[in-house]
Amino acid sequence: MTEIETAKMSERGQIIIPKEVRDYIGAGESTIFTIMPLDRETIIMKKLDKMKVIQEFRSIRTRVKEKLTQKEINQEIGEVRKSR
């Protein structure tokens, strides 16, 4: 895919990704994207791979040596809230 495609925003802020682009990236009806502005003229959209994210979180969880109890988690949350 080397062609530049265009899209127009609707009154509700919706943008339709052209079919050729959707087909190229393998995006279906329920595909989730992350969106980040670089500046006032440029945004980045990245297709979110839910299974990859889940695997990354599982990997992080297995590397955590010290697991916190629910009580310890609640104490940490309380301390952060107090410091604000």
User: How is residue 16 written in tokens?
Assistant: 């339709």
For residue range 6-36, list pLDDT tens digits in order.
999 999 999 999 999 999 999 998 899 999 9
User: How is residue 74 written in tokens?
Assistant: 């609640």
Q: How far apart are CA 34 and CA 45, in angstroms?
A: 6
Q: How far apart are CA 67 and CA 61, in angstroms?
A: 9
Q: What is the pLDDT of residue 65?
A: 66
- Global pTM value: 0.57
Q: Regarding beta strands 42-48 and 32-39, do their DSSP bridges make them parallel or antiparallel, or are they unpaired?
A: antiparallel
Q: Are 17 and 26 in contact (CB under 8 A)?
A: no
